[in-house]
Structures are given as structure tokens and as C-alpha cells.
Structure 1
């Protein structure tokens, strides 16, 4: 079990697999999950000869249930602490959902200035801003996120089960093949973490404006999202991300859900590999 301790006392769990002289690929998980959500990708890229690294965000998974720092700045700083501890260079950082916001802030604030990042990938990611505001009227109303907070506080276990068995993987769509294993694994990861971290994380992923982060990124960046994403609307995420990035490429997947890295791992892994090798 490998951990680092941040300056404010959070213990961050991380995995570091593969040859230490190989190019590192760093995976950043979504809310409210853990680094285990990337199992299919980590095993795939390990088999391709890469060094694969992933950490559990503070308050999530096996990291400590600290009661502070549940915001995008701390998420990025924690990711940087892992990268610096392992001295990762020429790295490809891949983030899903909230993890995509973490990647955007990490690359803009730490990774690029330190010269550690070669490329980035945003998978079904939350930037630039999910929340509906006067300047972003197409966003999701605050009442929706308040509903998330209410459901989490009243019955987190039931709320997480509903998300995993419904919109997250598109299992609520007619004709979809439902995987009980996938649902249980999502629920397992979520329930490992801190209710406080998950509650505070809703504000972090929904209200953080990352427009300037995206504008600051200059490394090649692949944007990937399904057009049937019921969690993060692709028109307000991927289609806006590609407009703000200086060196971006866009791939939209017809009919794919928010959790496409799991439901369509074979396709996503092949496309990630092609981008990394390009």
C-alpha cells in the first residue's frame, strides 16, 4: 500500500505499476469513485509496456477521509504531489468526469509549468462549467445539484445505487444490457469514500469555472465524450472544451454513456493508445 502525505495532512493512496523507465500514463478518476475505476485501462496499458499510475482523490477510496480541501485546487495539488513524489516526466494525464477537471487544473497550474506533461486526455469531463449561471445559461440549474446533495445526505447508499444502475452507464436506456458486476463495483468504490468528501465534491465539480484552465493548456489534448452522456451534457462539455483548447482533438461517440471507459473499454483503450502513440 503506497501513500504520500500532502502539506495539509491528507494521506493520498496511489498505484504505480510497470517499468519505471517507461513513459508514464496517469489516470484521474471521477466522482465519487477511486483509482479502481481505471482497472481496464491500467491493465491494458501495462500490457503495452507503459508505466501506469493512479491515485485515490482525497476523501475517496483508500485515501484519508480528511475534512478539508475538497475543491479543484486541492485535487490538482494532490495530483501534483504524487507526480513530484514519483518524479513523473513526459507523462500523459487522462481524466474522467471530475477527474477531467482535475487534469485540466493540474496541467495548467502544475504539469506544464514544471515541464512534466506530454499530452492530456479529457474523457466525459466536467470543464469548463456545469452550473447554469447568467453568463452560462445553458448549464444545469443549481436545484439539480442541490437535489444530489439532499439525496446523498439522506441515503447515500441508495443514491449511489440509483446512479450506477441508471444514467451513469446508460443502463436505463431501452435494450441496454445491464451488468450487475459493473453496478456493484461502482457502488463499492463510492461507499469506500467519505460522505463529507462526496457531498463537498458536488460543489467542486459543478461550480468550478475552468475556462481559463482550458485556455492555458498547450500540450496536445484529446477530448472524448459520448453523445448519450446523461451526467455531463456533451454540448456543454466536449464541444466547448475543444473551442477553448489551443491544441485539441475531438472524438464524439454515438450512443455512448458517461461511463463509457467501462462499458466500451475496448474502443476507448484503442483510441487512447492511438493518441498516445501519435
Structure 2
């Protein structure tokens, strides 16, 4: 059963830890220009950035540019059948194997920047898009369903004419990948492999046929918190369970918290509100059963957002050609907190 009730309950006050920390240490948020430069220099000197990112940085310029010296990087919009404009990033050599990244709720393509830079440095073409209603895509009050999310992803793939694609999805993005691969990618022959990271399928909601799922009251609580004070709710999620920052001894990063909040607040409140139903109530059992391409399933066993026993373990059972890896102690947002571990594992799977 989900840990949501205990983690998100207002009575325990855990989720306000990041905000209380800022309030009790205001000096941290009043840096002089000299102080900021000192922090930057300190970061460089002590190599705080993940090893994979720092090692890759020297390669990025040469990989991202062609013989002409012009960057092989672009961004743009795809207009879908219902007029929604989907924003995408498209970086790297056009003739390289593409990897398409699908973000979680309520974020944007920016949540994948660490992975985009890493795979770009390793010679791949990397693509990521903002789900409808999220990030820079059109803020719409229609089509905020898993069916439409998958169709929008297909619109991006077809617009860029991507083939032999590896699709990697996190959380809600994992549900999007499962539906896309089953309904579009495999039938069109465009998908090579799939990766589900801390993903929501097969079904999060507790029902008669899914008694170990999360009660509807928990997701109703999400909707209530979003409608009442979306900004504070997003700070609470990021400073608490998403990255495991509420755990004793956790190394809390204000930059990570604020970047999560920034991405969430870029999107539309209505789309994100409706998206809660999409990621929690969509039964994707048939999607998982339909997937035949090699699929890597990854999740941390300290995921406080999507319980791994109801997600990764079931995904691996339902997908016939799957490889499962569970990381002890890793949180839901492990792609950020443990990029130095996850990125090489992703690369090994892509290369295999």
C-alpha cells in the first residue's frame, strides 16, 4: 500500500522542512555577488556535480556540433490534431540513434537535462517534450488523459521522423511510454527498446481487483492541495518524499527543490489537476502485456511516491521481455539524486 497518507498528511509537518529551513536560515537566500561566485568556485573545486555529468561536459561541445561548427541542437513545437502545441527539445547528431525522454507529473522536459547532457556526450540524439498542459506546451483543459499523452508523444516522433528509438519514461512518463509503445511505437515499427523508471503502471488506484493500491482519498487530497495552494504543495512535494529529503541524514539540495517547483509552476493548474486522474486511475495492464521490445524496469525500494511492489515488480511480471533492477534506499526522484548510478545503467541497456 502507498505511503502517501503518512507522508502527505499535514499533521506531521514533514513536507514543510525545506520551507522551514529557508525561513530559519535567511542568510542563505541573501548572497552577495561575491558569495555566489564563491559558491560556484567551491562547486567546481569539490566536484559536487555527479561524476557522470562532470566527465561528460568536456565532450558535449564536440558531440553537439557538426563539421560546420553549427550546433546540432534545436527546439520547437508540434501541433497536434486538436490544435495543442507540444514543445520539444532535439539535441545531437541527426543520424545517431535517438533516445526519447518522457517526464513525470507535474514537470517538463527540463527534468531530463542531466540525462540529455549525458547521452549527448555519448553520441546519441536526445529528444524530450513537455506533456500537454505542462512546461512550454499549450495549457489546455482537454485531452489530459493517458490516451492523449501517448498520441502527443507519437506526434513528436512522427514530426521528427524518429526511428529505432529508445523510449525512457519516469513516473507518469513511464505510463506514457507504456501506452505509446503498445499503441503506436510497436505497430509503426519505430521503437527499439523501452525503459520504465519509478513508473505508475499497471494501476495506482485501489480497486476491488487491485486491493493493494492507493485509496482514492489520497489522490483527492492531492487535488485539494493543488487547488488550495499549488505553489506550496509543489514545494512540499519536492522538499519531502519526491527526493527522499524527508529521510534522516538526507543531503537536501535547495536547487533541486526549487527547480522542481519552477517546472511545476510553469504548467497549467487545470491540466495538472486533471493529470492526477490520468496517472492514478488508468489501468495499463494490457499495455504492459502488449509490449514485446526489450524493456528495462528500474525503481528504488524507498520510493515514497509510487510503491515499488505495486509498480516495478508487477511491470516486470507483465512485460514478457523485461529486465528488473531494484535499488536499495533510492527515492522516487533517483534520476536526479543518484544520476551517477542510474545514467551508466541506462547507457549499458541502450548499448546492449
TM over 0.5: yes
* 1:77 aligned onto 2:151: yes
For residues 191 and 202 of structure 1, the distance between their equivalents in structure 2, rounded to whole angstroms, comes to 15
Q: CA deviation at 1:67?
A: 1.4
Q: Which residue of 1 aligns with 2:292?
A: 218
* 1:242 aligned onto 2:313: no
1:1-278 equivalence runs, <5 A = 1-278=75-352
For residues 303 and 244 of structure 2, the distance between their equivalents in structure 1, rounded to whole angstroms, comes to 8
> Over alpha carbons, which structure has the higher Rg?
2
For residues 245 and 2 of structure 1, the distance between their equivalents in structure 2, rounded to whole angstroms, comes to 34
Q: CA deviation at 1:98?
A: 0.1
CA deviations 1:80-128 (Å, max 9, x no partner) are: 0000000000000000000000000000000000000000000000000
Using structure 2 for the length normalisation, give the TM-score: 0.79
For residues 232 and 67 of structure 1, the distance between their equivalents in structure 2, rounded to whole angstroms, comes to 26
**Matched residue of 1:33: which SS?**
coil
**Matched residue of 1:270: which SS?**
helix
Q: CA deviation at 1:189?
A: 0.1
Question: What are the ranges of 5 or more consecutive residues in structure 1 without an aligned counterpart?
Answer: none
For residues 287 and 152 of structure 2, the distance between their equivalents in structure 1, rounded to whole angstroms, comes to 17
Question: What are the ranges of 5 or more consecutive residues in structure 2 without an aligned counterpart?
Answer: 1-74
For residues 133 and 10 of structure 1, the distance between their equivalents in structure 2, rounded to whole angstroms, comes to 33
For residues 338 and 121 of structure 2, the distance between their equivalents in structure 1, rounded to whole angstroms, comes to 18
More helix by share: 2
